[in-house]
């Protein structure tokens, strides 16, 4: 299975603990293709339809539903958790994801 950066996939996140986002849900692949094509773990940002507005959450639309990319819940998961590809993030949202990750982790 080939999984590429900025694709959106349905993933199984359970089991979880505490306040981690649970269930089977869409997630954005954020790890670079060099990692995705080489090792069996992938960095993702889960997506949700229910959220308060935070600076680390990006509003988006997927499969005609309004939702959010939750960048404050980035995690690494094994490829066996990936179910099916749902689409790819558009260029404008990709730029926003990069900007917010940079602000969160670099600046």
Above 80 in pLDDT, residue 107?
no
pLDDT digits (tens, 9 = 90+) for 31-52: 999 999 999 999 999 999 887 7
- φ/ψ (deg, to 5) at 105: -115, -15
Q: Residues 6 or more apart from 48 whose CB is under 8 A from it?
A: 21, 25, 67, 68, 70
Quote the pLDDT of residue 1. 87
| pLDDT at residue 63, as a whole number | 78
Could you tell me the pTM of the whole model?
0.93
pLDDT for the residue numbered 102? 95
Q: How far is it, in rounded angstroms, from Cα 39 to Cα 84? A: 19
Q: Using the Cα atoms of residue 30, residue 33, residue 35 and residue 39 in order, give the sign of their dihedral.
A: positive
pLDDT, mean of residues 3-28 = 94
pLDDT at 71 over 90: yes
* pLDDT of 54 above 90: no
Q: Provide the mean pLDDT of the chain.
A: 93
CATH tag, 7-105: 2.30.30.110
């Amino acid at each position: 299975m080939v999984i590429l950066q900025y694709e959106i996939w349905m993933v199984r996140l359970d089991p979880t603990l505490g306040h981690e986002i649970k269930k089977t849900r869409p997630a954005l692949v954020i790890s670079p293709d060099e990692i995705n094509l080489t090792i069996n773990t992938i960095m993702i940002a889960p997506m949700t339809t229910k959220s308060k507005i935070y600076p680390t959450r990006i509003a988006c639309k997927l499969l005609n539903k309004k939702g959010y990319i939750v960048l404050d819940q980035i995690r690494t998961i094994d490829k066996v958790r990936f179910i099916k590809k749902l689409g790819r993030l558009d260029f404008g949202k990709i730029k926003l994801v990069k900007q917010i990750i940079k602000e969160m982790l670099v600046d």
